Amino acid sequence: MSAGRLSEKLIIKTTTPASDGQGGASETPSVVATIAAEPIPLSASEQLQAETVGSHAIYRFRARVRSGVTPGMTALWTPRWPAGMSAKVLQITGVQPLPDRQFMQLSCAEVH
């Protein structure tokens, strides 16, 4: 696969606990990485299956392997097409290495 297909940008974020100085804690978001990715369309049967489990939007992306990206993190994605789309907040639900070991597949669900 050529790098030219990695036309979308995902901003990967995580939250880290931070002390509030009074014995409590809050979560502070931080950016882990900004990666180039290629959206992978779901098949019709995958879309049907997703709808039966109640998820409204499921996305899959192919990206170069990046250590430290794990399920549970969030990704901010603004689709390049069509123009004017608003940003989507996605929960990363799966990270799988692909057979060539240079790329990984991210499975994501839209956070509402």
Q: What CATH number is associated with residue 64? A: 2.40.10.270
Residue 76's H or E segment, with its range, is: strand 74-77
42-63 pLDDT, tens digit each: 877 776 666 665 556 789 999 9
| Full-model pTM | 0.82
Instruction: Judge whether 63 and 11 are in contact, CB under 8 Å.
Output: no
Q: What is the pLDDT of residues 65-102, one digit of tens each?
A: 999 999 999 999 999 988 899 999 999 999 999 999 89
Which two tokens mark 72? Answer: 């549970």
Q: Name residue, tokens 């950016």.
A: 31
Angle at 60 between CA 62 and CA 41, to 5 degrees: 100
What is the number of structural domains in the chain?
A: 1
Residue 38: give the domain boundaries: 3-110
Q: Name, in order, each residue with C-beta under 8 angstroms of 69's C-beta and a sequence gap of 6 or more.
A: 12, 32, 33, 35, 92, 95, 104, 106
